[in-house]
Each structure stands twice: as structure tokens, then as C-alpha cells.
Amino acid sequence: MWRPRSVKVAIWPRLTRRGATLVIVGVLLLALSLWFDLRDILVLAFVGIAMPGVAALFVALRTPRLAVTRRFAPPVIAAGGSTLVALVVKNRSRRTFDGAHWRDGVPSGLASAPEAILPAIGPYESMLPAGDDTVRLEYRLRMPRRGVFQVGPLRVGISDPFGLARIDRDVGNGHEVVVTPRVTPLDAALGSAASVDGVLNGLQRRTHPNSDELIAREYRYGDPMRRVNWAATARRGELMVREEEQRGDPEARIVLDTTLAGRPKSSAYRREGAEDTHFGFELGVEVAASVGMHLLERGFRVRCDRVDDPERSLLSEDSGAGYRMPGGDHLLLEGLARLEQPSSHPSSRDVQHAPAHASGPRGREARMPGFAVLIDPDEHDARTLVALRSTFEPAVAFVTETVAPSVIEALEKSDWRVVRVRRAADIASAWAGSAAPMPSSAPTAVSSTAGAASPDLFTTETG
């Protein structure tokens, strides 16, 4: 691990303000001495001219040998949080390394620690290390935005002993730090054990009629009555209940609008400031993260798909089978963190195929909860969602302000429950609104058809 890393020149030697002033003074003195024939001053004039040049040569020729390790604590941060970056700089040269400043390279838009003094580091101690060849640096890095950021390499500015010239070198490599989207804790309304249990168990029983043989176990105190498996009880002569419902493999799908196909007409909504950050898109990612985490905690297997191509997984290829606990939450968040904002030209639109029906319509019994997060879909996306409606139960669409009214209308017509989200603080209430039976006057406007569909979700089905 302690291997000298490459030391590259980031900025070529240049004179400091002091060095430049010295050169100017030297030139003035030279002119003065030549004009008045003061040959004695000539020496000083050339000191002024030559000294910065020699200093620049010095810093250019003197290559430091440094090894840098960087650690983040914590390595994964939620957006808006901060991480402590710990650097260990080790001198691998036989000479003392002095006269340097350091500054860790961070992507633009992040505020890094200001340039600070790198203390003198003693020569490399191959034997009896006393730690005098090591400097530890720590600084707190604030991460306001979701994404994966490259921190580093360490930029070391080396000046000569007289402060006349300076060179900037990059030491070591950069490291990635993952900033996950913020997750809003959601009410347990939807994911309450009862409802999930009921829906999914019913599903499973229909798909695998014999499974109850395999999963029955003895009744233990506290098992709900509705879990009693009457068939097994009859056979075994004692009270049997169904085994854990995880076996039922509950699944939910989140369909995220990643292409922002309707973008050209709504570019006015882009907020300036945080450059290249689409506010709506970030909000959508946050909604998806919150919902996804919520579902994962409730034991669902969660699939994240793209709205323009629901059979393609949104995040990475190996997540096609969906995320599940344990570990799925980290993967989901990291995947969402890596999710790049779509380029301004929706080029993915060339794969124009009828998506929803390709896999064939599933039966009513194969329905699973479906959540669409729409930021700026176009008509094509709307058609896809309408086609998918039949496989989802319930089907909730979280829409941001930028979604076109025509799309919302189309969704509502096809019995999607549309919930509007304006900002991150709305997510919890929107979620609650999506779960509760909606009066039409609620701020998160829900179409009457979607409202009518919702009770299905919460009905307890016993098998």
C-alpha cells in the first residue's frame, strides 16, 4: 500500500508575486545601471533577474517522492452530509521535504479546505520508523449533492526556500466518494405487515398451489389466527401455521423517468445556480430512493426500471433481478447515486419498441405494487405507463411540477394514482397521501379513479 505514487506536474513553475516583483526591480536596476554606467549595481540587477529564474529551475528539477493514502469516514454519505477526509502523506525521499502547500483536489462545486501549509516532512525512515516522515491531514468535506465524486489527487504546491517560484504537482490518485440521495423516512401505512402479508401470500398460493405443504410449521404463541393453515392442521392433527412470508418473494417495481424526454419544452424550469443540476430530476431520484428504501425495509424485492424501457434495469446490469435485503439498500442507494443525469438531448429515444406487452400481460394474480416517478415524460412514456398499468396493483405515479398536464390526464384516465411532489419536504406527506383514501380536495391531487382503486391495496386477503 505504501508505494510511491506518481507525482505529476499540474501547473508548471511560475513566479510568485514576490519573484515577479524581484524580476521587475532587477530589470529596472539593469536599465539604471546601463544608463548611468553604474557597473556596481549590475550585480544586484542580475541577482534580481537571475534569482527567480534559478528558483523556478530549482522547483522544477526537485521532484518530491511522496506517498498518499486517503480515507473517507464515512465512505458513503447522504447528500447534504459531510465526510471526514483523512490523508496520510509519507515522504519516501532521503531528503527533508519542506516548503510546500497542499490542497486536496475536489470536483468543482464542492467547497474543499483552503490551501494550507504542508509541514516539513523528515526523510524516509526505512528502519526504526518514528513517524517523522509522515504527516496526517484531515479535513471535512461537505457534500451538498448526490453523485459520485472524485476526490484527489492531492495537489502539492512547492515553492523554493525564498518564496520566489512555485510549482504545483499532483500526488497520488483520486478516490471516489459516493453521495447517495437523501432518504425520507416514510410512514409504514403501505408496508404494514398485514397488508403485505395478505396480498403476497395470496399471490403465491395461486402461483404455487402446493407450497403450503412445504412451508407449514407448528403454531407458536402469538401467531395470528389468519396464518393458521387449515389444511396442514387437518393433516397433522395439530395447529399448523404458514411459514414466513419472505418465501412469498414480494416484489415491487419503481419506474423512474430518466430520459426527461419532454425536456425541451420545459427547460424554463431548470433552476440556475447549481450548474447542470436539474432540480426535478434530483427530486425524482430522492423520491425513488425514499420509496425504494421503504420497500426494502418492508421485505420487498425492489426492481428499478426506466420508464422508456421498463424491461431494462435502471441502474446496473446485474441488478436486473432487483434489490433485496440484506445489502440491497446500499446497492440501491449507490446505484441511484451513480445515476447520471440525462444529457440534454434525449438520444435513447431511438429504441422505439412497444415495451410493456413484450413480456406478455401478466394475469391479475401477478400484480405487484408499482411506483412511477415522473419528472418530464413525453407521450411515449405515458403510453408505456398506461400499458404497464395492468401489471401493477396499486399503481402510484409521483409527478413533479414539470410533468405535462396531458401526461397526467392520460395516466389518470388509465387508473394511475397520481401524486404530486413539489419539493423534498413533500415526500413524506405525498407518500401518506398515496396510501390514504384521498379526498379530492387534498393538496396531492388524486384522481377519483385512482382513489377508487386504492382500497384494493389495503384489503386484507386471507388465504
Residues lying near other proteins in the complex (CB under 8 A):
18, 21-22, 25, 29, 33-47, 49-51, 53-55, 58, 62, 95-96, 98-99, 111-114, 116-123, 130-140, 142, 159-164, 272-275
Furthest-apart CA atoms within the chain: distance in Å = 122
The smaller minimum CB distance to other proteins, of residues 124 and 416, is found at: 124
> Three cell numbers at 21?
516583483
Q: Closest separation between CB of residue 375 and other proteins, Å? A: 21
CA distance 111 to 104: 11
Contact 45, 26 (CB under 8 A): yes
Shortest distance in whole angstroms from residue 134 CB to other proteins: 6
Neighbours of 400 (CB within 10 A): 23
Determine the 3-state secondary structure of 281 from DSSP.
helix
Measured from the CB of residue 401, what is the shortest distance to other proteins in angstroms?
20
Least distance CB 463 / other proteins (angstroms): 57
- Decide the pairing of beta strands 251-256 and 301-306: parallel
Cα–Cα dist 443/354, whole Å: 34
CA separation (Å) from 205 to 240, 337, 365? 16, 37, 10
Amino acid at site 256: L
- Min CB(124)–other proteins separation in Å: 12
Residue number, 65 or 208, with CB nearest to other proteins: 65
In the complex with other proteins, which residue's Cβ is closer, 50 or 194?
Answer: 50
**Cβ-based nearer residue to other proteins, 139 or 300:** 139
Q: How far is the CB of 143 from other proteins (least distance, A)?
A: 12
- In whole angstroms, give the CA distance from residue 166 to residue 76: 36
Name which of 88 and 366 has its Cβ closer to other proteins.
88
CA 64 to chain CA mean position, Å: 36
The backbone region for 273, taken as left when phi is positive above 0, alpha when psi lies in -120 to 50, beta otherwise, is left
Whose CA is closest to 289, among 388, 407, 416, 146? 146
Q: CA angle at residue 63 from 60 to 64, to 5 degrees?
A: 135
Min. distance of Cβ 34 from other proteins in angstroms? 5
CB 70 to other proteins: min, Å: 13
**Closest residue by Cα to residue 150 from 105, 113, 180, 114:** 105
The torsion region of residue 374 among left (phi > 0), alpha (psi -120 to 50) and beta comes to beta
104: cell is 486536496
Nearest distance, CB of residue 135 and other proteins, angstroms: 6
Neighbours of 386 (CB within 10 A): 17
Helices within 268-327 (DSSP H only):
279-297
**Exposed, middle or buried by CB within 10 Å (0-12, 13-18, 19+), for 40?**
exposed
The answer to whether 23 touches 135, Cβ cutoff 8 Å, is: no
* CB-nearer residue toward other proteins: 137 or 288: 137
Q: Smallest distance from the beta carbon of 424 to other proteins, in angstroms?
A: 19
Residue 164 identity: L
Tell me whether residue 131 or residue 437 sits nearer to other proteins (CB atom).
Answer: 131
**How, if at all, do strands 240-242 and 216-218 pair?**
antiparallel
Query: Shortest Cβ distance from residue 47 to other proteins (Å)?
Result: 4
Quote the CA–CA distance of 386 and 390 in Å, as a whole number: 8
Cell of 249: 418473494
